[in-house]
Copies of this chain bind each other. A is one copy, B any other.
Amino acid sequence: MIMASIYGNNIKISIFGQSHSEAIGVVMDGIPAGIKIDVQQLQAFLERRAPGRSALASQRMESDVPEFVSGLIDGVTCGAPLCAVMRNTDVRSEDYLKIRDVPRPGHADYTAFVKYNGNNDHRGGGHLSGRLTAPLCIAGGICLQILEQKGIEIGAHIAEIAGVSDEAFHPVNVCSDTLKAVKNKDFPTLCDETGNIMKAVILSAKNDGDSVGGIVACAVIGVPAGLGDPIFDGVENRIANIVFGIPAVRGIEFGNGFASTLLRGSANNDALYAEHGAVKMRSNNHGGILGGMTSGMPLLFRVAVKPTPSIAQAQESVRLRSDGGAGFTADRAEIKVSGRHDPCIVPRVVPCVEAAAAIAILDMMI
């Protein structure tokens, strides 16, 4: 039960709230003093994650405007912990009353019931809801702005939906223009045509009362060489540690990742060369990380996102009954998740991955 919702060595991010509690939010401890936060830019970033924006996403409407109750004076950090609070308003807890004791397959309902002995907030997934990525994005959005001032840029795109693949970032030459262009799209793919096919795939699943998953690819450019630490505190360790905090993430790979296992060393190694006295590499299979430390090449990683477990179809489950003590019994049950759900969470995971990367990288630089 330790540090469950806290991340970071230098910047500490403490996330609180449940899907249907009074509010959700985040405390950020360790942001340097004297930094101007562009609240409007932050809000634009949060919009990318917010629900209710399109037919492809949940119809829950949240204003998703954080109130900074501490740490900011006239938009400038004062060195004290930042706390942002975001009220939950469009809550329909009654959707969850009837399924209180029937865990939704693919969700954390059952594991949370066991862990918290039935005391967990089951409404909308409680503390384990995807809604908790909103405070992650508040923290990440702030880190993104600070990194930008240091010449570091982060961008992600939808690399795959249900097997339909977008183009990939160029591993060596991915540049600021590319990252900016894809981020400003409503449906962030490099190739718009592929994006349209993906949208059709998502709508088709939606029409079937079903859902699909996909892969998000992320690039970080401008990172100096030598960040990160050996063994347990390498760049991969830290990014993986925070990225698995995004619900529905099932895998992560750096550089050419799992595909590297198909290459021989001679093909997988990235040759070094000198250009005007500086060190560069001819290829970037290593994804900008060697021995847990950044190489100065673009940092690249990919994240697997499973299909949304909430689907409209009937599913087999159980009805849990507390036995009065610490245990419980279970009977056969069927469940149909009504509520308002995303047929595909991948587009909304894109900014979350950027946020997570930003927090991890800024944490290493301070």
Task: Check A83 against B17 for contact (C-beta < 8 Å).
Answer: yes
Residues on the B chain within 8 Å of A110, using CB: 225, 272, 279, 290, 295
Taking the closest CB of chain B, its distance from the CB of A346, in whole angstroms, is 8
Pick the contact of A232: B7, B268, B287, B306 (CB < 8 A). Answer: B7
Task: Check B18 against A70 for contact (C-beta < 8 Å).
Answer: yes
Copies of this chain present in the complex amount to: 4
The answer, yes or no, to whether A112 is at the interface (CB within 8 Å) is yes
- Most chain-B Cβ atoms within 10 A of its Cβ — which of A77, A249, A252? A252
Task: Check A265 against B311 for contact (C-beta < 8 Å).
Answer: yes
The answer, yes or no, to whether A240 is at the interface (CB within 8 Å) is yes
Task: Check A231 against B4 for contact (C-beta < 8 Å).
Answer: yes
The answer, yes or no, to whether A126 is at the interface (CB within 8 Å) is yes
Residues on the B chain within 8 Å of A111, using CB: 225-226, 289-291, 293-295
CA A264 to CA B211, docked complex, whole Å: 5
The answer, yes or no, to whether A170 is at the interface (CB within 8 Å) is no
| Known A116-B34, A241-B240, A318-B279; contact A9-B17, beta-carbon cutoff 8 A | no
Pick the contact of A265: B21, B212, B215, B255 (CB < 8 A). Answer: B212
CA A231 to CA B107, docked complex, whole Å: 14
Taking the closest CB of chain B, its distance from the CB of A14, in whole angstroms, is 4
CA A296 to CA B115, docked complex, whole Å: 11
Task: Check B232 against A241 for contact (C-beta < 8 Å).
Answer: yes
The answer, yes or no, to whether A193 is at the interface (CB within 8 Å) is no
Pick the contact of A330: B232, B266, B274 (CB < 8 A). Answer: B274
The answer, yes or no, to whether A140 is at the interface (CB within 8 Å) is no
Q: Which of A257-279 contact B (CB under 8 A)?
A: 257-258, 260-266, 268-274, 277-279
Q: Which of A22-75 contact B (CB under 8 A)?
A: 22-25, 27, 29-30, 32-34, 67-71, 73
CA A42 to CA B332, docked complex, whole Å: 42
- Most chain-B Cβ atoms within 10 A of its Cβ — which of A25, A68, A306? A306
Task: Check A120 against B78 for contact (C-beta < 8 Å).
Answer: yes
CA A234 to CA B127, docked complex, whole Å: 13
Task: Check A69 against B16 for contact (C-beta < 8 Å).
Answer: yes
| Known A6-B6, A83-B25, A277-B330; contact A264-B205, beta-carbon cutoff 8 A | yes
Task: Check A3 against B29 for contact (C-beta < 8 Å).
Answer: yes
The answer, yes or no, to whether A99 is at the interface (CB within 8 Å) is no
Task: Check A21 against B69 for contact (C-beta < 8 Å).
Answer: yes
Give the total of A residues in contact with B, Cβ under 8 Å. Answer: 150
The answer, yes or no, to whether A166 is at the interface (CB within 8 Å) is no
The answer, yes or no, to whether A171 is at the interface (CB within 8 Å) is no
| Known A23-B83, A307-B260, A308-B265; contact A270-B105, beta-carbon cutoff 8 A | yes
Q: A7-B232, A277-B329 are in contact. List 7 more A-B contacts (CB 8 A).
A: A4-B233, A17-B69, A23-B85, A107-B291, A236-B250, A265-B307, A279-B320
Name A's B-contacting residues (CB within 8 A): 1-7, 9-10, 12-18, 21-25, 27, 29-30, 32-34, 67-71, 73, 76-83, 85, 103, 105-108, 110-112, 114-121, 125-128, 132, 160-163, 205, 208, 210-215, 225-234, 236-237, 240-242, 244-245, 247, 249-258, 260-266, 268-274, 277-279, 282, 286-287, 289-296, 304-311, 313, 315-318, 320, 329-332, 366
Q: What 7 pairs between A and B have smallest CB-CB spacing?
A: A108-B291, A251-B253, A80-B127, A4-B229, A211-B265, A115-B226, A106-B269
A–B complex contacts, Cβ < 8 Å, 14 sampled? A1-B229, A4-B233, A16-B27, A16-B71, A21-B69, A34-B116, A70-B127, A78-B119, A105-B272, A132-B231, A251-B253, A263-B306, A266-B315, A274-B332
